Amino acid sequence: MSTGNVTTLRRPDAPPSLPSQGKIEQREKTTEGKVAFSFRNVAKSFGDKPVLRGIDLDVREGEFLAIIGKSGCGKSTLLRILAGLDTPTTGTVSKDASSRTRMMFQEPRLLPWERIASNVSVGLTGIAKGEAAQEQALTILEEVGLKDRAGEWPYVLSGGQKQRVALARALVAHPQILALDEPLGALDALTRIEMQLLLERIWRKQKFTAVLVTHDVSEAVALADRIVVIDEGRIALDLDVKLPRPRRHGTAEFARLEEQVLNQLFGRGDTNG
């Protein structure tokens, strides 16, 4: 049975499309349903090891989705497929033809030989250059509170400040979809809370679709409109989070949602809340 070809989102250095690979399509933008992207029966294997097994997922424009699961469950692979850094073995990923996706990683991955503003301008490669790129870089650096550090080198910044620069680099081109692969995981507790608040503020202002992979259940409940739990490559729980914003840790409803996700992760009882 044919599984289709990879037609878009392939890296320039990737091998030609193969009949055995899944399909990544782009559809014309439509207001019907306002779906930012869809996964249809997406599976991914590395050699003979299956990592994703038949993922079906629709994510709305402007939605904040958190993906959580144990190490090795396939959540980061799902994110890489969304960002075009990998292709599904079978299945289809579709998104708006005009949609721009950017990704932020756990490590800031700044260029040590470039100053802060130039690091941010990397996110505009192929989009803007020169004074236009510099102006856009300064604008987004102001948004993350680092405009006054634009001329400095990465080595003088703290870990949290470096992640702010990485966030600015991901957002400078105004993507419609922002994929976040545990970007706050290496930060200390207080810096992590500051970054959560910053990320939520910018998301609410720019209205992009956010997809956050995290191990932190509390972080998922604090930020997401919706939480998906991945277990052994499959969606085990798809949970709407209907708490008002800004959210308060420690409330009964916040704790109930945390418990519901933890129950699913560790198989310890009712997951219906």
Give the domain CATH number at 61. 3.40.50.300
CA distance 58 to 41: 12
The domain boundary, picked from 124, 149, 173, lies at: 173
pLDDT-based confidence at residue 272 (cuts at 50, 70, 90):
low
Q: Are residues 247 and 144 in the same domain?
A: no
The domain boundary, picked from 173, 198, 221, lies at: 173
The domain boundary, picked from 138, 157, 173, lies at: 173
Residue 117 lies in a domain: yes
Please indicate, yes or no, whether the overall pTM of this predicted structure exceeds 0.95: no
Mean pLDDT of 245-262: 94
Q: Are residues 86 and 180 in the same domain?
A: yes
Which of 258, 230, 260 shows the shortest CA–CA distance to 68?
230
Q: Are residues 161 and 236 in the same domain?
A: no
Q: Are residues 63 and 122 in the same domain?
A: no
Mean pLDDT of 93-117: 94
The beta strands (E) that lie in 28-84 are given as 35-46, 49-60, 64-68
Q: Are residues 143 and 79 in the same domain?
A: no
Domain count of the chain?
2
pLDDT in tens, 48-102: 999 999 999 999 999 999 999 999 899 999 999 999 999 999 999 999 878 899 9
Q: Are residues 89 and 120 in the same domain?
A: no
Q: Are residues 183 and 261 in the same domain?
A: yes
pLDDT in tens, 116-161: 999 999 999 989 889 999 999 999 999 999 999 999 999 999 999 9
Residue-number span of the structural domain to which 240 is assigned: 53-98+175-265
Q: Are residues 181 and 249 in the same domain?
A: yes
Q: Are residues 166 and 119 in the same domain?
A: yes
Residue 270 lies in a domain: no
CA distance 105 to 91: 25
Q: Are residues 167 and 190 in the same domain?
A: no
User: Is residue 133 within 8 Å of 124, Cβ to Cβ?
Assistant: yes
Residue 17 lies in a domain: no
Q: Are residues 186 and 261 in the same domain?
A: yes
Sheet containing strand 234-240, edge to edge, reads: 101-104, 177-181, 209-214, 64-68, 226-231, 234-240
Q: Are residues 72 and 189 in the same domain?
A: yes
User: Is residue 228 within 8 Å of 57, Cβ to Cβ?
Assistant: yes
